[in-house]
Amino acid sequence: MSRELTVIDLERRAILKASLLAGGGLALEALIPLPTLARDAVQGKRAAAHLSAFVSIAPDGTVTVVSKNPEIGQGVKTSLPMMVAEELDCDWSQVRIVQADVDQSRYGEQSAGGSTATPKNWLPMRQTGAAARAMLLQAAALKWDVPAAELTTARGRILHGASGRSLGYGEVASAAAALTPPDLDAVPLKRAEQFTIIGRPVVGVDSARIVKGAPIFGIDTRRPGMLYAVYEVSPAHGGRLVKVDIEAARRAFGVKYVLPIVGNGDADTGLADGVAIVATNWWLAEQARAKLSVEWDLTAAKGHSSKVYQAKADAAFASGAGADLRLDGDPGAKLASAAKRITARYDYPFIAHAAMEPQNCTAHYRDGRLEIWAPSQTPQRGLEALHKALGIAPETITLHLTRAGGGFGRRLMNDYMVQVAAIAKAIPGVPIQLVWSREDDIRRDYYRPGGWHSFEAGIGSKGELVAFSDHFVTFGDGRTPARGAAFNASMPPAGLIEHLRYSQSMIPTVITTGALRAPGSNALCFASQSFLDEVAHAAGTDLPGLMLDLLGSRREIAARDNGVAFDTGRARDVIERVVQISSWSQQKPGDAGGAKGFAFYFSHRGYFAEVVEASVTGRDVAVHKVWVAGDVGSQIVNPMGAENQVRGAVIDGLAQALTGQAIEFVDGVVQQSNFNDFPLARMPMTPDIEIAWVRSDKPPTGLGEPALPPVIPALTNAIFAATGTRIRSLPVRLTA
Amino acid sequence: MRYRLHINGAIHQVEAPAEMPLLWVLRNELGLVGTKYGCGKGFCGSCTVHMDGAAQRSCQLTVGSIGSAHIRTIEHIGSTALGARLQNAWLKIDVMQCGYCQAGQIMSACALLAATGTPNDDQINSAMAGNICRCGCYNRIRSAIRIAAGMQEDSRVA
């Protein structure tokens, strides 16, 4: 077990509860002390005290596994039950998945974010399946009056080799329910070579319904008598409602209610001031928005413009190095005495998440109780927000989790949930579905914040990197960075060279910011790996060569601020693998005549090295191929889903760089509105993507995020190789 | 206004303003929620339906313009041989991640293969360019179209 998965609280023990299913069969509930990820402990956050796994076996042999986490397209509704089914040793075709409602007391933490589901659940889910299998074996042993050790299992059946007898799990499930559950830590687990489900490509459990257009997303929720709502908010971030004339909107066709709502002014709990329009059809509500006459107080947003932010960043660079985040050795002296010294500034813009399913939520308030259907990544935080913003007690709320049409970090925030609850509470007895327009979604995001970097590197006489510094200008109140705007002081080359300074300055903002897929890393990797490519060129080597030199011998480097140790050996292995599969050479053009660029990054416990081959014609960049080498531990749980996550991350990164994605502000008003001015990747730009897994001996970790960061600098480094033009600002904008 | 619409082989009566987009008739009036709202401006293709066999963005079709045209949605595409082949191909290589855009992708792919039985990559790219997949499942969508067209036997994704 790797250090990061160390169970911090050793005295807590797992509890297994077995019971008889209604209608017969075994129901097993495991309350398992959660392996507190070291990161949570470092941050002083106590993870939920336990994790629960629910598995039941019906008399007909059907295995039901409760999926507790939100499914946002990351595949967790399939991959976690695979872990249970594997150790239960049943046939995957026998397995049914049930989506859990939100219930902290039963399920502990229910969230999707940070690529944490796999590392947190890898052991407990398998233990639960193994415990159920052990109980079924024991029941069969009693029934046949033979030692349990003589029994084997395969595909949901128990076999007694000596007598040739066999039975299905369902036949002893009820008897097993009367047995004392085993010690969870003592149940034997399979070796990887015994796996029959884990490691095989498994089709997502909702896929068959998705291709038929079945109603499984939040926005598909339908309740009898339901009305549809829009929520008009201030055109500028941070604006407050002064007065509104609702009469014309109220008279509009199909409109039933128009409700001015005074929020709490707290962006975190999400109840912005606004005007709800509720109609019999969403489009009618949306049309009626034009009939509202609203006066907003926009003074808070004055001066919050992209051009002003740029000027403030320039001023921050001019005024010094900012506050130190990390100071190793004496970088100032070493930079001054280096044989060669290079400097460069990098920047990247605010970007939106733009999940395909627009933000939405459905709520029904009646008899003092609230029922909610939500596509949320953090539904439990939603309950907290409802309590804080609206005073609704969590125990009076029933919260159903729906499949979410993409998350990417946007649905870590629950503003839409608070808004619909405020509307539903004002109209008791009527189910309300709030749907944001795409324009709402682009203009009211919790954006990936922009940032600026001023790098300096000193290169020694033998071409070695002797000193490195990065002055980061980000957003924040001067003490704490805004959400999603923090630096990573463990970012390479930190820990790999002696003399290094990371420092930071902050610009205050009223713009709501947040985590976007591989938060921090998606931007920091672009800047740092692009600049290290500059260092490599200046030092007469290439970036894979420079990185391998810097990494040096195989060892673990303790983390500075995120609790996850960095394994230089695993980094070396993915770099060497991608060099091999891509036939890496920066000088020689590839088969399609393109040039190659390379980058490496370590984020969310995953090690990824990527090579992009691209060619440039005028202002157009064509990406021919991307090679990915990744190490997320010893086992890929579901190769089907895993490869999809990697391809998606690569395309996501290419889109951030190449389609022109940038959110810009004028006095707090977002200038973009829809996919015409905030573009996403489309099929014609999609390259061939080749993936190689490097299997280390570490426990498996998550894949929602870590494949994204390296693709952006691999691309910009390829553009440099192709054209000699260094891309120091995103999105890529070439002049012909 | 009252309209009699031919949708998925049945007649549906709806009362709606003439300018209401078909998308919102399907989703909010008829409970056919498989057709998805993504942008409302014809940029993303999530709301693609067939009108007399041609792929159309239902957010850009007003109910008043439908007349007697036959509309087919994702809920009914499996009743055609081509639609069923596409759905099976989608499942064979599990195209989707979040899955939200896939109804529109399948409807566009179906119109492509109905017109061009064995499209080359350029034809696939151009026919599918109007359908955004935010999760980036494009490699698999291309492969699934080739599988459904009988141009690819294996589950390779490139």
CATH topology of domain A3-194: Aldehyde Oxidoreductase; domain 4 (3.30.365)
Sheet holding A63-67, edge to edge: A15-20, A26-33, A50-57, A63-67, A95-99
| pLDDT confidence band for A51 (50 / 70 / 90) | low
pLDDT at A495 over 90: yes
Spell out the SS3 assignment of A333-349. Answer: HHHHHCCEEEEEEEEEC
Q: How far apart are CA B147 and CA A150, in angstroms?
A: 47
- Tokens 């039985």 locate to B117
pLDDT score, position B152: 92
| pLDDT confidence band for A204 (50 / 70 / 90) | very high
> May I ask the CATH class of domain A225-299+360-443?
alpha beta
For chain A, give every residue range classified as CATH 3.30.365.10: 3-194, 225-299+360-443, 320-351+447-723
| Average pLDDT of the segment spanning A614-638 | 96
Q: Are A362 and A432 in contact (CB under 8 A)?
A: yes
Residue type, A84: V
Non-local (6+) Cβ contacts of A426 within 8 A are A257, A259, A261, A276
Q: How far apart are CA A408 and CA A300, in angstroms?
A: 29
Q: Tens digits of per-residue pLDDT, B134-146?
A: 999 999 999 999 9
CATH superfamily assigned to domain B2-40+49-73: Beta-grasp domain (3.10.20.30)
Task: Give domain limits for chain B.
Answer: 2-40+49-73, 78-148
- Among A402, A515, A488, A518, CA closest to A115: A518
- Alpha-carbon Rg of chain A, whole angstroms? 27
Beta strands A227-233 and A432-435 are parallel
pLDDT at A355 over 70: yes
CATH superfamily assigned to domain B78-148: [2Fe-2S]-binding domain (1.10.150.120)
Average pLDDT, chain A: 93
pLDDT score, position A35: 54
Q: Are A379 and A110 in contact (CB under 8 A)?
A: yes
| pLDDT confidence band for A613 (50 / 70 / 90) | very high
Half-sphere exposure of A583 (CA within 13 A, CB side): 7
B126 touches chain A (CB under 8 A): yes
A212/B33 touch (CB, cutoff 8 Å), yes or no:
no
Q: How far apart are CA A73 and CA A644, in angstroms?
A: 10
A437 touches chain B (CB under 8 A): yes
- Residue A307 tokens, joined: 């051009």
pLDDT score, position A561: 67
- Residue B66 tokens, joined: 């439908």
What is the least distance, in Å, from the CA of B155 to any CA of chain A?
11
| pLDDT confidence band for A3 (50 / 70 / 90) | very low
Phi, psi of B113 (to 5 degrees): -70, -25
| Average pLDDT of the segment spanning A347-354 | 98
Q: Tens digits of per-residue pLDDT, B18-49?
A: 999 999 999 999 999 999 999 999 999 999 99
| Average pLDDT of the segment spanning A294-318 | 97
Q: Are A195 and A639 in contact (CB under 8 A)?
A: no
Beta bridge mates, A326: A502
Q: How far apart are CA B40 and CA B58, in angstroms?
A: 9
Among chain B residues, the shortest Cα distance to A206 is held by B99
- Among A441, A510, A525, A518, CA closest to A484: A518
Beta strands A157-160 and A63-67 are unpaired
Beta strands A465-475 and A63-67 are unpaired
Determine which of B48, B98, B138 to mutate to test the interface with A (most A C-beta atoms within 10 Å): B98
pLDDT at A66 over 70: yes
pTM: 0.95
A683/B131 touch (CB, cutoff 8 Å), yes or no:
yes
B96/A207 touch (CB, cutoff 8 Å), yes or no:
yes
B98/A688 touch (CB, cutoff 8 Å), yes or no:
no
A404 touches chain B (CB under 8 A): yes
Contacts of A228 in chain B (CB under 8 A): 28
Torsion of CA B29, B34, B36, B42, to 10 degrees: -90
Residue A711 to residues A154, A569, A734: CA-CA distances in angstroms? 42, 21, 18
- Among A642, A636, A633, A621, CA closest to A689: A642
B16 touches chain A (CB under 8 A): yes
Spell out the SS3 assignment of A119-136. Answer: HHHHHHHHHHHHHHHHHH
Q: How far apart are CA A536 and CA A540, in angstroms?
A: 6
- Residue A512 tokens, joined: 């709501």
B26 touches chain A (CB under 8 A): no
CB-CB neighbours of B51 under 10 Å: 18
pLDDT score, position A47: 41
| Average pLDDT of the segment spanning A285-305 | 97
Q: How far apart are CA B112 and CA B126, in angstroms?
A: 10
Contacts of B74 in chain A (CB under 8 A): 212-213
- Among A219, A272, A674, CA closest to A439: A674
pLDDT at A289 over 50: yes
pLDDT score, position A120: 86
Q: Tens digits of per-residue pLDDT, A95-149?
A: 999 999 998 888 888 888 888 889 888 998 999 999 999 999 999 999 999 999 9
Phi, psi of A194 (to 5 degrees): -90, -5
Beta bridge mates, A469: A456, A501
pLDDT score, position A129: 94
- Among A58, A32, A36, A56, CA closest to A46: A36
Q: Tens digits of per-residue pLDDT, A405-441?
A: 999 999 999 999 999 999 999 999 999 999 999 999 9
Scanning A645-684 for CB atoms below 8 A from B yields: 645, 647-652, 655, 674-676, 680-684
3-class DSSP state of B147: helix
pLDDT score, position B156: 84
Q: How far apart are CA A426 and CA A593, in angstroms?
A: 63
Q: How far apart are CA B157 and CA B142, in angstroms?
A: 8
| pLDDT confidence band for B101 (50 / 70 / 90) | very high
Contacts of A649 in chain B (CB under 8 A): 136
Q: Are A112 and A72 in contact (CB under 8 A)?
A: yes
A283/B41 touch (CB, cutoff 8 Å), yes or no:
no
pLDDT at A562 over 80: no
DSSP classification of residue A729: B
Compute the C-alpha angle A511/A390/A217, nearest 5°: 75
pLDDT at A38 over 50: no
- Out of B40, B132, B155, whose CB is closest to A682? B132
Determine which of A683, A688, A708 to mutate to test the interface with B (most B C-beta atoms within 10 Å): A683
CATH 3.30.365.10 fits A320-351+447-723, yes or no: yes
Q: How far apart are CA A50 and CA A44, in angstroms?
A: 17
Least confident of A173-187, A210-224, A436-450, B59-73: A173-187
- Residue A273 tokens, joined: 């001031």
- Residue A693 tokens, joined: 């897994």
Q: What is the largest CA-CA distance in chain B?
A: 51
pLDDT at A326 over 90: yes
- Out of A213, A280, A284, whose CB is closest to B75? A213
Q: How far apart are CA A394 and CA A193, in angstroms?
A: 45
Quick one: angle between helices A117-144 and A169-176, nearest 10?
90
| pLDDT confidence band for A43 (50 / 70 / 90) | very low
Beta bridge mates, A165: A160
| Average pLDDT of the segment spanning B150-158 | 87
pLDDT at A4 over 90: no
A266 or B61: which leads in pLDDT: B61
Q: How far apart are CA A518 and CA A650, in angstroms?
A: 12
Q: How far apart are CA A701 and CA A1, in angstroms?
A: 12
| Average pLDDT of the segment spanning B109-114 | 98
Give helix then strand counts, H and E, for chain A: 18, 30
pLDDT score, position A148: 95
